[in-house]
Structure 1
Amino acid sequence: MLITLADILSPSEIEEVRATLGSMRFEDGRAPAGCSAKLVKDNEQAREGAALTLLRERVTKAMSSNQVFVLAARPRALTPLLFSRYTEGRHYGSHVDNLLMNGVRTDVSFTLFLADPESYDGGELVIESVSGEVEIKLSAGHLVAYDSTSLHRVAPVTRGERLVAVGWAQSYVRDSAKRELLFGLETARRNPCAQAGKTSEFDLLAKNSANLIRMWAEV
């Protein structure tokens, strides 16, 4: 499942996040990477420290408050966010994310864009599949979430600076197809409720959605 979400952060929040990152030190993103990632990874990451911890908490809270993100990912746990910077010439070659990060199984990967797309060229997130490639470059404050099993890469930046927050979720529902089915059911359940209130159709959808979660959820 691939989904894009708008306005995870407001324009004022984006400015504050960028200002905070502008005062922080960045280090070679290859330092914490695995042996294979070091061969294709070329970016910088915000250095660990008290400022980064507070920034992570703030952005993670905003994500966790977004109902669509919660319904799509059904997160049981989230990894600490990484704030990555790609200046001109930097990129991240084709790779698949590690299965475990910080003790969290990675089911859903997500990228929160922090730079205005007009401020840099290149830097698209490219998700690869048997049906072709999907290039994603979103407005600042928008997020894309996709299956962590996907091969993906970041195209070289040819002008400006790409700034993003990236992270991973362990889902209560491990299987991507099941998560997508539950997302569709929940969307179908909420629409008639908003239009007509609590009806017999709403109750039936709610029952089946809840019972599927009981069957599939890992707690």
Structure 2
Amino acid sequence: MLLQLPGLLTPDEVRTARERLLASDAPWIDGRRSAGDQAVARKNNRQLAQDSDCCRRLQALVLGALNRSPQFLSAALPSRIFNPLFNRYSGQNNAYGAHIDNAMVHSRNPAQWVRTDLSCTLFLSEPQAYEGGELAIHEPGAERRIKLAAGDLLLYPGDTRHEVTPVTRGERLASFFWVQSLVRSTEQRRILWDFDQSLMSLRAQGDTDATESLTGTYHRLLRLWGEP
């Protein structure tokens, strides 16, 4: 499923992220350094150096936002999160052609393999600040072009064919990362997401014996489908 989580970052956090990414000493490198074999010829962007202090500070900011978001935790059921990376599209470095993310990626800190059950794009530039630069999702018989407000997060299955269309004006800043979920199946995660959203609505009306029983059913399903 494709799921938009609005306002993952606060306006102040978005402003802080942009200031650091646009600072004159921000260590941008060729984005092809992190591309897999099938994607390297199609990737044309800039990426913030992973081992820089700037990147580590921004990673902490994004991870903090993820950990405080009930919607993200409910949708992703994260087991492992690849430390967020940051990219920049403008000028001649302006696109990333259609590709599918690698099934497994290796995180430097902490040093671990992460299965890419979910791909995540966190938009950091306002839509009106650039033309083009949509995240194009290729589905059977259709294409969806997505451009979200700064601070919004898009989650989509890691085996989705997707691309970033050419930026023809302005500059597109974003964070991207992957999640290994406690529940590997996209369909099962969707069922649990729908179940949990309904439970949240019911709890807002007051706890009842029926709500408690349904909560128990949710956790039985999670035990059945989940894995460390």
TM-score by length of 2: 0.93
Question: In the alignment, what sits opposite 2:8?
Answer: 8
- Residue 131 of structure 1 and its aligned partner are, at CA, apart by 4.1
Question: In the alignment, what sits opposite 2:219?
Answer: 210
Question: In the alignment, what sits opposite 1:43?
Answer: 45
**Of 148, 153, 175, which aligns to 2:185?**
175
Structure 1 residue 137 corresponds to structure 2 residue 147 = yes
Bigger shift: residues 159-168 or 26-35: 26-35
Give a deviation string over 1:155-205, Cα, whole Å, max 9, x none.
Answer: 11010001000000000000000000000111111111111x111221221
Bigger shift: residues 32-41 or 99-108: 32-41
| Distance (whole Å) between structure 1 residues aligned to residue 220 and residue 157 of structure 2 | 24
Structure 1 residue 200 corresponds to structure 2 residue 209 = yes
* Correspondence list, 1:19-168, <5 A: 19-23=19-23, 24-47=26-49, 48-89=51-92, 90-102=94-106, 103-168=113-178
Letter in 2 for 1:84: N
Contact 2:46 2:89 (8 Å CA) reproduced = yes
Give structure 1 stretches of 5+ with no counterpart. Answer: none
TM-score by length of 1: 0.97
Bigger shift: residues 50-59 or 118-127: 50-59
Contact 1:111 1:165 (8 Å CA) reproduced = yes
- Residue 65 of structure 1 and its aligned partner are, at CA, apart by 1.1
Letter in 1 for 2:122: L
Aligned residues: 218
1:138 match: secondary structure: coil
Contact 1:88 1:156 (8 Å CA) reproduced = no
Instruction: Tell me how large the CA RMSD over aligned residues is.
Output: 1.0
2:71 match: secondary structure: helix
| Distance (whole Å) between structure 1 residues aligned to residue 76 and residue 218 of structure 2 | 15
Letter in 1 for 2:195: L
Contact 2:75 2:190 (8 Å CA) reproduced = yes
| Distance (whole Å) between structure 2 residues aligned to residue 205 and residue 58 of structure 1 | 35
Contact 2:30 2:45 (8 Å CA) reproduced = yes
1:80 match: secondary structure: coil
